[in-house]
Amino acid sequence: MRYTDINGCIFTQIQNKMNEVLLSALNNRYATKKFDATKKIPIETVDALIEAIRLTPTSYGLQLMKVVLVQDQALREALVSHAFGQRQIADASHLLILCREKEANASHINDYIENIADTRSIHVDNLIGFKNMMHNTVLKMTPSEQEDWMKKQVYIALGNLLTSCAVLGVDACPMEGFMPAAFDNVLGLQDMNLASVLVIPIGYRAEDDKNATIKKVRRPLPEFLVKI
């Protein structure tokens, strides 16, 4: 059934159902404090979640970030003490670390330009203007400005991942409560020119995780939405 609202927008029952499904998934998700260590996410779903992160939009499309999937259980145990004892790091089905590049440099821009040229069958000469624009902005930033800017992109990826997890029925705990320098050291990230930004254990909630049933606390809509 289709109907039109007073602004002339067309809605369908399917669209309304999709709104409901989305909001239900987002209400059902929560920062999982205790994972069921016996439940594993199917590999196809893990792949889909990683693809969702890869599809995250970034400034200029430069993607100055990488996902690290920590598969070694001993390493995961070693990381717990560098995250204030948060057991989710060792107990969740999978552990993702969202990282930024240590610095943004000319070779990142060159690689990206070549990727666009290959992917879209464009000659690199036609991308000179775009390339120069990136040089004139990204390479003019101070190291600290670059760091802030790259971190912002990683947080967009976090949002994308959390929503994707919710929609696919996977639980997650976004974490910035960890010591990045220690994580980088334990995982050897410096040697890969990476710096950890966010840690996200993903898996399935434990039956006795009390946080699963407590009410969500959010600012009431009238205090949150400003209509001008």
Q: Is 31 in the site for ligand FMN (CB under 6 A)?
A: yes
Cβ distance to ligand FMN smaller for residue 177 or 188: 177
The amino acid occupying position 46 is: V
As a residue count, the chain comes to 228
Q: Is 216 in the site for ligand FMN (CB under 6 A)?
A: yes
Please say which residue, 134 or 171, places its beta carbon nearer to ligand FMN: 171
Shortest approach of ligand FMN to residue 31 CB, angstroms?
A: 3
Q: Name the residue nearer to ligand FMN (CB basis): 48 or 180.
A: 180
Instruction: Report the distance separating Cα 64 and Cα 160, nearest Å.
Output: 16
Closest to ligand FMN by CB, 32 vs 146, is 32
Closest CA to 198 of 125, 114, 96: 96
- Residue 137: its H or E element: helix 128-138
Q: Which of 13, 19, 176, 190 binds ligand FMN (CB under 6 A)?
A: 176
Of the pair 30, 183, the CB lying nearest ligand FMN is at 30
- C-alpha distances in Å from residue 181, one per residue of 20, 38, 194: 41, 30, 11
Residue 141's contacts (CB-CB under 8 Å, 6 or more residues apart) are 104, 149
The site for ligand FMN, by CB under 6 A, has a size of 10
Question: Does residue 173 belong to the site contacting ligand FMN (CB under 6 A)?
Answer: yes
| 99 binds ligand FMN, rule: CB under 6 A | no
Q: Which of 63, 138, 174, 184 binds ligand FMN (CB under 6 A)?
A: 174
DSSP 114-174: HHHHHHHT--GGGGHHHHHHHHHHHTTS-HHHHHHHHHHHHHHHHHHHHHHHHHHT-EE--
Cβ of residue 146: shortest distance to ligand FMN, in angstroms? 20
Site residues for ligand FMN per CB under 6 A: 30-31, 33, 86, 173-177, 216
